Amino acid sequence: MSKGKILIVDELHAIFKERAAAMGYEVHDEPNFTRAQTLAAIADYDGIAVRTKFRIDRELIDAGTKLKFIARAGAGLDNIDEAVALERNIHLINAPEGNMDAVGEHAVGLMLSLMNNFRNADMEIRKGKWDREGNRGYELKGKTVGIIGYGFMGSSLARKLSGFGVQVIAYDKYKTGFSDQYAREVSMEEIVKLSDVLSFHIPLTNETRQLVDEEYLLHFRKPIFFINTARGEIVSTQAVLNALNKGKILGAGLDVLEVEKFPALAEQPWFAELISSGKVILTPHVGGWTFDSYRKISEVLSDKLAALS
C-alpha cells in the first residue's frame, strides 16, 4: 500500500527517489516543472521536494491541500514560508548535514586564496607580470578566526581549521554552552575585538537581513578578512566595498550576494565596483554544492523522510 505521493520539482540526486520509493511512496520526478505546473498539480501530492527553483509560499502551500511534508534539498529554509507550513502542521525537512563539509572547505579555500593573493597573482602572471613583493601574503597560523553562527556550517568550518594553528572563536545569538575542542564561545564584543578573519554561517531571517552594514563593520578593532558562504542578503555589499576602500576589510570572499544570477546581478549599483576590486573573490553560490554533497543531501533527506514515516 502506498504511503502517498511525492512530487520532486528540482534537480535532486536519484538516491532520494530510490529510497522514497523503497519506503512505499509513489514518486514523480519532474525537475523541469515550472511554478505554474507545480501549482496545478500539487493538490494530488502528500509531499514536495525542492532545491532552489522557486519559493514555496502561501499560494503553493494552500493549493497543496494534502501536503504532509516539504523537503528542502539544502541547508536553509528561507525559500519556504515556514509560518504557513506551521499553520498547516506540515513537516519541514532540510539537509544541512549533507553539505556542511562542502561549505566548511569552501570557506577555508576562500580564506587561503584571499590571504595569499592567489587570484591577483594568477592574473598578473598570465599578463606577463612577476611581482613577488606585491603578492606577499599572510599565514593563517596565529590568527583569530571569528565565526558567526555555530550550527552545522559554523562548526564544520571550525573542525576544518583545527590543523592550522589558529584560535577559533564563535558567537551564536541562539545558543549557549557550545564551546568544544574546535571553538570557544564568546560574546559579540569579543568577536569585534579579536577577529582577524570573520566568517558568516547564519540563516536568512527578518532579523539577519542586512545585518552587516556600515555600522556593524565600524566596530571591528582590526582590519579583517571577510567571508560569507551563508546568504547574500545578510550583507550590504556596498558596506563591504566601502570597508575595503577604507582598509577595514583586507579582502572579501563572497560565495553569495544580495542579488544572484544575471541579468539582475549586473544591474545592481555596486556591481561594477565589486567586479573591479582586486580584493574580492567571487564564487556563484557553490560553497555547499559539490559532486559529493549532491548525493549526501539526498541521503540525509531520505533518512529524515524515513524518520517521519
For 149-204, write each residue's pLDDT tens digit: 999 999 999 999 999 999 999 999 999 999 999 999 999 999 999 999 999 999 99
Name, in order, each residue with C-beta under 8 angstroms of 134's C-beta and a sequence gap of 6 or more. 117, 120, 124
> What's the rounded Cα separation, in Å, for the pair 157 and 227?
11
Q: Say yes or no: do domains 4-94 and 100-282 share a fold.
A: yes
* pLDDT, tens digit (0-9, with 9 covering 90-100), for 120-146: 999 999 999 999 999 999 999 999 999
Of 91, 13, 62, 74, nearest to 204 by C-alpha is 74
Cell matching residue 128: 606577463
Neighbours of 291 (CB within 10 A): 8
What fold does the segment set 4-94 form as a domain?
Answer: Rossmann fold (3.40.50)
Q: Is the pTM of this model over 0.85?
A: yes
Q: Distance (Å, rounded) from C-alpha 11 to C-alpha 6?
A: 14
Which DSSP helix (H) or strand (E) runs through 62?
helix 58-63
Residue 2: pLDDT over 80: no
Q: What is the pLDDT of residues 251-308, one digit of tens each?
A: 999 999 999 999 999 999 999 999 999 999 999 999 999 999 999 999 999 999 999 8
Mean of per-residue pLDDT scores for the chain: 96
pLDDT level of residue 1 (50, 70, 90 thresholds): low
* Angle formed by the axes of helices 96-115 and 291-308, nearest 10°: 150
**Looking at residues 228-250, what average pLDDT do you find?**
98
Catalytic residue numbers read 231, 267, 285
Please tell me the distance from the alpha carbon of residue 262 to that of residue 268, in angstroms, as a whole number.
10
C-beta atoms surrounding 40 within 10 Å: 12
What count of Cα atoms within 13 Å lies in the side-chain half-sphere of residue 222?
16
pLDDT above 80 (res 14): yes
Percent of the chain with pLDDT over 90: 96
Sequence-distant (6+) residues with CB within 8 A of 219 are 192
pLDDT classification of 78: cutoffs 50, 70, 90: confident
Could you identify the residue written with the cell 594568477?
A: 122
- Name which of 302, 293, 301, 298 is nearest 106 in CA terms: 293
* Residues 62 and 19 sit within 8 Å (Cβ to Cβ): no
> How many CB atoms are closer than 10 A to CB 189?
10
Q: Is the peptide bond before 269 cis (omega within 30 degrees of 0)?
A: no
In the chain, where are the structural domains located? 4-94, 100-282
pLDDT of 303 = 96
Has domain 100-282 been given CATH number 3.40.50.720? yes
Residue type, 281: I
- Measured between alpha carbons, how far is 193 from 175 in angstroms, rounded to an integer? 20
Centre a 10 Å sphere on the Cβ of residue 59 and count the other Cβ atoms it contains.
Answer: 13
Cβ atoms of 118 and 303 within 8 Å: the answer is: no
CB within 8 Å of 55: residues ≥ 6 apart: 79, 80, 81
Q: Which of 11, 28, 147 is nearest to 74 (CA)?
A: 11
- Whether residue 255 contacts residue 225, with contact meaning beta carbons closer than 8 Å, is answered with no
